[in-house]
Structure 1
Amino acid sequence: MTTRRHPNERLRALLREADWTQEALARAVNTLGAEIGCPLRYDRTAVAHWLSGTQPRTPAPQLAAEALSRRIGRPVSPQAAGFTAPAPEAPSPDPAVGFADLCRDDAASDRRDALRQRPYRVADSVVPEFPAAVPAQPARGRTGPPRPHTHPPAERAPALRDAASFFAASIDSHGGHHARSALACYLADDVVPLLASGTPERNRAEVTTAASRLAFLLARMYEDGQLHGLAQRYYSFAHRLAAECGDRTSWCLAVRAMSAQAARLGHLPSALHLAEAAGRAAAGVAPAQQAYVQAQLAVVLARGGDRRGAFGALGAAERAAGRAGRGDSPFDVYPTAALAYQTSATLVALDDVPGALAALRRSLSERSAADVRGRALTQARYGRLLLRAGHLEEACVAWRAFLAGRERLRSGDAEHAVREMRSALRPFRNRKGAAELLARSAPSGERRAIA
């Protein structure tokens, strides 16, 4: 740390405006650190040092600014909070250009860490409606040195679709940490050049759709890794690229996923705005995607206390799922196991634990064997609900199955579920089943100490 010459009066004024104590700001910064996979332990003494003029290390200035933005309800930059931090880059009005810059930075190991320290920004969760008509796009200039296409874009389209299927299956089978860097490099090296001006107009929509869907998958990977700020950036480009080429389906998928991310981080107004926007646009998409969108809307409405609206959306999801056919792409199907999982989340929010447990049993019975991640996380949620219902032994059975699946995964969500399991079981550590699970799931250092 380096010391400033003058006290940070800007930060002091913002604390007064936020009606926050120094301890409250420290807690908020720690919470935002968890959203980007960066555990922090700041307390009021650290904030006191900031107020005296000491400059914290990155990413604390960015996190403090976002925390104050959320509290006050208007954007606050690190500079406005009296911190020395790099000025944020102005977003490009052309989503392909901005996406290209992000992909290249992500693929460069010396710039990747800075990207991952970006906080999740509530202000960025506001999306415009899907455009009623998409104007013709002018030819765009290249954003870097020209790269010759080894194959015409029309011939590359099947390869892009195959890549999307591969990475989607990888997430399900191995978790979001697996092949994440490979997808980032694939986007930078193979997809970004296809978005440049050399792509013929007749092929641009297909290439842009493929880029949107691959961005969506990389966002899912980063979200699984608890890197929510970077995941949000990729989701945002996924919906912006889809809007540019008029792909209503990809736009709905991205905005729906952004709603789920906002909801898991506790930003219910943002989650509702996004779910409703996706729901309005989904009127023109296939039944499987309608089911996917309506199921998320049901969860958000239930968490907001709108029982009637939640059951209405859930019914719409079930009817759409009943009309859905089979698809060749992972973007064309919505598995019944996933719908049952969302049904459970809706019923939990409405305090129907028996119904939620029944929905999770249905989800587990219908999970594909290849969906290792989905099955493991469903078992973890099943264990938590069983314990909530007072069934410790059954909960331990579910959690043992979860741990067996987790061993095959590289998934931040799975590791988070382990921590939740351990926290839930500690009050029962004198019971045999709970003690065995705590020992089996202990971090390696603790396991050595137990042995």
Structure 2
Amino acid sequence: MTNRRGPNYELRALLTEAGWTQEALARAVNALGAEIGAILRYDRTAVAHWLSGTQPRHPVPQLTAEALTRRIGRPVTPEAAGFPGCARDTTPADPVAGLTALCRTDTDATRRTLLHQRPYRVADAVVTGAPAHAVPGRPLGGRTEVTAALHDAIGFFAASIDTHGGRHARSALSAYLADDVMPLLTSAQPQRLRREVLVLAARLAFLLARMYEDGLLHGVAQRYYTCAHRLADESGDRTTWSVVVRAMSAQAQRLGHLPSALQLADAAHRGARTAPPAQQAYVQAQLAVVLGRTGDRRGALAAMGRAERAAERAGSASAPFDCYPAAALHFQTSAVLESLGDLHGALAALRRAAGERAASDVRGRALSQARFGQLLLRTGHLDEACAAWESFLTARERLRSGDAERAMRDMRQALQPYRNRRPAAELLARTVHGR
């Protein structure tokens, strides 16, 4: 920590406006730390020091400002919270310049740490309408001789997430964007080719966002998602735009920001009305999950029905962005049914998901088994739950995935009341010793 002159009256006034105690602010900052993969243990005494004029180290001023922003409902900067001298986080208005700047920061070892400590910002989880200037003729993003290398990169990194987890090859993708893709966008190109490259760059940025989200670095993941939907908007590709915005909705939902998640899911739904069936299924499934979480049973079931009908119309394509695997749809169906209180239906959907998972989808299989264990335990089937978690732990050993690590922590917490039962004790011992 560093000292500043005089008490922090700005922070005290914001605490009063928020109706928060010092302890409440400390808890909120700790929770935000978890969103960027940081374990923080601040308490009211730390906040008392901040109020007396001590300035905490980065990224605590940014986390404090975001916590107050969420509580009060209006933007609060670190400076407004009485923490001067914090670097401003600005994004160029031009989408290509924005992604270029982001990738340069991400590939610079001296600046990467600050980027990775950026908090998720609820105020940024907003999009305008889908591209109004949709491009006529054949769909954008198709494979051509000029764009073949970009398609190969998309296939490689998408498969890497499924097989190895989001923490694998992340720096390779950011370097590829910076060194190979950005020069294509900044060089003189025919308009049609530039739009093709914009779409493919958006898809690569989307994959990097997924990697960071799976690594539980939600702030930088949000930055890449934002770049991806802005690039898709610039290209005029409503389908890619809707796919990205759908993923942004899922991120907001998992962090507990349901109003943002619903707004984004609805925007994706409206943007995907003319999309191919596979992408419509992908978008509708997320809308169903959010509606279920918000208590809209009729809306959730209607959206799930649309997702299922769209999936039935989809072809047999297997390339990333052109398909929506049946296992993923069953997983979302399970989430919808669970939110509506139908645990047996949720279990049945998860069983279908497990049966449909491709062998190469190690991450999806692991997370399905982890969720399967949770639902089985909730329905009173301890032995079956432990068997599912055994499969999860076996798959987890092959992954570099923050989501898998979080699922293991959730498993340990769920099993604590049963630690004297043999199957639970064996699983807990296995995780303690890393076997």
C-alpha distance in 2, partners of 1:156/1:403?
A: 43
C-alpha distance in 1, partners of 2:362/2:242?
A: 26
TM-score w.r.t. the length of structure 2 is 0.97
C-alpha distance in 1, partners of 2:270/2:191?
A: 29
User: 1:208-249, CA deviations, whole angstroms, 9 ceiling, x for partnerless residues?
Assistant: 011000000000000000000000000011100000000111
1:124 match: 124
C-alpha distance in 2, partners of 1:167/1:343?
A: 26
Matches within 5 A, 1:68-107: 68-107=68-107
1:142 match: none
Give 1:132 deviation, angstroms. 1.7
Matches within 5 A, 1:48-447: 48-133=48-133, 155-442=145-432
Contact residue 216 and residue 254 of structure 1 kept, 8 A = yes
Give the unaligned 5+ runs of structure 1: 136-152
Give 1:328 deviation, angstroms. 4.7
Give 1:168 deviation, angstroms. 0.2
Q: Which amino acid aligns with 1:176?
A: G
C-alpha distance in 1, partners of 2:99/2:57?
A: 28
Report % sequence identity: 69
C-alpha distance in 2, partners of 1:305/1:328?
A: 34
Give 1:90 deviation, angstroms. 3.1
Give 1:154 deviation, angstroms. 6.9
Q: Which amino acid aligns with 1:305?
A: G
Give 1:108 deviation, angstroms. 1.3
1:141 match: none
Q: Which amino acid aligns with 1:130?
A: A
Q: How many residues align?
A: 429
Give 1:2 deviation, angstroms. 1.7
Give 1:198 deviation, angstroms. 2.5
Q: Which amino acid aligns with 1:102?
A: L
Contact residue 134 and residue 244 of structure 1 kept, 8 A = no
With 199-208 and 249-258 compared, the bigger mean Cα shift is at 199-208
Give the unaligned 5+ runs of structure 2: 136-142
C-alpha distance in 2, partners of 1:299/1:254?
A: 16
Give 1:109 deviation, angstroms. 1.3
Contact residue 104 and residue 188 of structure 1 kept, 8 A = yes
C-alpha distance in 2, partners of 1:86/1:13?
A: 20
User: 1:259-314, CA deviations, whole angstroms, 9 ceiling, x for partnerless residues?
Assistant: 00000000000000000000011101000000000000000000000000000000
Give 1:193 deviation, angstroms. 0.7
Q: Which amino acid aligns with 2:104?
A: R
C-alpha distance in 2, partners of 1:199/1:423?
A: 55
Give 1:111 deviation, angstroms. 1.1
> What SS does the aligned partner of 1:283 have?
coil
C-alpha distance in 1, partners of 2:43/2:189?
A: 53
Give 1:92 deviation, angstroms. 1.4
Contact residue 9 and residue 51 of structure 2 kept, 8 A = yes
- Residues 155 and 85 of structure 1: is their aligned pair in 2 closer, same or farther, counting only changes over 3 Å? farther
Q: Which amino acid aligns with 2:252?
A: A
- Residues 443 and 21 of structure 1: is their aligned pair in 2 closer, same or farther, counting only changes over 3 Å? farther
- Residues 90 and 66 of structure 1: is their aligned pair in 2 closer, same or farther, counting only changes over 3 Å? same
> What SS does the aligned partner of 1:63 have?
helix
C-alpha distance in 2, partners of 1:389/1:311?
A: 23
TM-score w.r.t. the length of structure 1 is 0.93
C-alpha distance in 1, partners of 2:185/2:316?
A: 30
Give 1:156 deviation, angstroms. 4.0
C-alpha distance in 2, partners of 1:443/1:94?
A: 50
2:138 match: none
Give 1:442 deviation, angstroms. 1.1
Does residue 42 of structure 1 match 2:32?
no
C-alpha distance in 1, partners of 2:211/2:96?
A: 21
Contact residue 131 and residue 237 of structure 2 kept, 8 A = no
> What SS does the aligned partner of 2:272 have?
helix
Give 1:89 deviation, angstroms. 3.8
Contact residue 134 and residue 238 of structure 2 kept, 8 A = no
> What SS does the aligned partner of 1:6 have?
coil
Contact residue 288 and residue 320 of structure 1 kept, 8 A = yes
C-alpha distance in 2, partners of 1:12/1:58?
A: 20
User: 1:400-425, CA deviations, whole angstroms, 9 ceiling, x for partnerless residues?
Assistant: 00001001111000000000000001
Contact residue 222 and residue 228 of structure 1 kept, 8 A = yes
Contact residue 326 and residue 332 of structure 1 kept, 8 A = no
Q: Which amino acid aligns with 1:80?
A: A
- Residues 296 and 154 of structure 1: is their aligned pair in 2 closer, same or farther, counting only changes over 3 Å? closer
Give 1:427 deviation, angstroms. 0.8
> What SS does the aligned partner of 1:130 have?
coil
